[in-house]
């Protein structure tokens, strides 16, 4: 059995995989492997390597057989680091909203959840699966804290999952240490480039920010939100596709999420697909940065019934 997530897997992905590994090991006495070809972010890599070294998760061989079962966590299949069509049995466990353009696979897809880890944790609870080490419980809890911004965006399910993990020795303070990090120099450069290139559009009190970088798009978008943007769009062009990474403030996206605000419209116009949450999402489309820079303020203005004006630098 193999587990896969999206490229540059984050803590929610790895914590979900770790919880599933404990569940599978308790039921079949086998340890699933993780398909790591898509790489990890810094925090997730640390947790993954520790889980492998302690025998809670395996490394997948280069060539997996078609008769293996594939579990896809924290992403739809079209964004997974494994080709779902190469397996006879595929199950998806995810909490992201999706554009609905891909084949439906069985599993659990629940956008009302605030993380995939909380869904996998409740599977542990429902099956009465033991968590043999409090440090494992902390690593699983870290995935929930990571995706819920330390529980500030937590769903009721996340609170229940946190309570369950604390019964097995997890402590919020200890799990927080796993999600704290100082960004590396490459990430800091990407953030600075994003800020130096940002185009700011204003309509009344609303500030729309659009920029472009080659990497660390999500990190750059979050910095722009922290700097005062209501909606931050970071665009990158790689390997013939254009990624549109969006973040919005809680206040701005209180009634409608990024999909309804802008990403659905972009996908309808330019093709591709999108997935994500109300406040954080990413689309893949066939359009240049220059075209999107013109189109996004127009589309968002029509949606809100306002006109955006570009601020002079």
Residue 231 in this model has a pLDDT that exceeds 70:
yes
Q: What is the pLDDT of residues 91-136, one digit of tens each?
A: 999 998 766 555 678 999 998 899 999 999 999 999 999 999 999 9
Task: Select the more confidently predicted residue: 273 or 133.
Answer: 133
CATH of domain 2-179: 3.90.1640.10
Q: Give every CB contact of residue 269 below 8 A, 6+ residues apart in sequence.
A: 285, 287, 295
pLDDT at 284: 87
Indicate whether 137 pLDDT > 90: yes
pLDDT computed for residue 102 by the predictor: 59
The domain defined by 186-310 folds into Diaminopimelate Epimerase; Chain A, domain 1 (3.10.310)
For residue 99, the model assigns a pLDDT of 62
Judged against a pLDDT cut of 70, whether residue 253 lies above it is answered with yes
Q: Read off the pTM.
A: 0.77
What are 158-205's pLDDT values in tens digits?
999 999 999 999 999 999 998 887 788 999 999 999 999 999 999 999
Predicted pLDDT at 145: 95
Domain-by-domain residue ranges, the chain?
Answer: 2-179, 186-310
Tell whether the model's pLDDT for residue 235 goes beyond 70. Answer: yes
Which residues, 6 or more positions from 202, have their beta carbon under 8 angstroms from its beta carbon? 208, 308, 309, 311
Contacts of 7 (CB under 8 A, 6+ apart): 38, 39, 79, 81
């Amino acid at each position: 059995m193999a587990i896969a997530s999206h490229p540059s897997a984050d803590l929610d992905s790895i914590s979900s995989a770790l919880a599933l590994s404990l569940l599978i090991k308790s039921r079949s006495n086998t340890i699933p492997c993780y398909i790591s070809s898509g790489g990890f972010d810094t925090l997730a890599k640390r947790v993954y390597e520790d889980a492998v070294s302690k025998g809670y998760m395996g490394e997948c061989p280069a060539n997996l057989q078609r008769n293996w079962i594939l579990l896809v966590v924290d992403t739809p299949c079209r964004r997974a680091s494994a080709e779902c069509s190469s397996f006879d049995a595929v199950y998806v466990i995810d909490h992201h909203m999706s554009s609905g353009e891909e084949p439906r696979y069985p599993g659990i897809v629940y956008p009302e959840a605030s993380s995939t880890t909380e869904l996998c944790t409740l599977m542990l609870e429902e099956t009465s699966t033991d968590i043999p080490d409090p440090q494992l419980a902390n690593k699983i809890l870290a995935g929930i804290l990571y995706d819920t911004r330390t529980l500030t965006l937590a769903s009721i399910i996340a609170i229940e999952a946190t309570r369950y993990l604390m019964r097995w020795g997890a402590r919020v303070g200890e799990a927080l240490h796993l999600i704290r990090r100082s960004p590396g120099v490459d990430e800091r450069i990407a953030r600075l480039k994003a800020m130096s290139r940002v185009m700011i559009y204003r309509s009344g009190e609303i500030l729309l920010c659009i920029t472009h970088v080659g990497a660390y798009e999500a990190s750059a978008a979050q910095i722009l939100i922290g700097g005062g943007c209501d909606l931050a769009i970071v665009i990158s062009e790689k390997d013939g596709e254009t990624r549109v990474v969006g973040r919005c403030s809680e206040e701005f996206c209180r009634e409608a999420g990024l999909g309804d605000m802008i990403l659905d419209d972009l996908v309808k116009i330019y093709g591709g697909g999108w997935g994500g949450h109300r406040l954080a999402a990413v689309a893949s489309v066939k359009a240049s940065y220059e075209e999107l820079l013109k189109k996004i303020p127009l589309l968002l203005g029509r949606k809100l019934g306002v006109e955006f004006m570009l601020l002079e630098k």
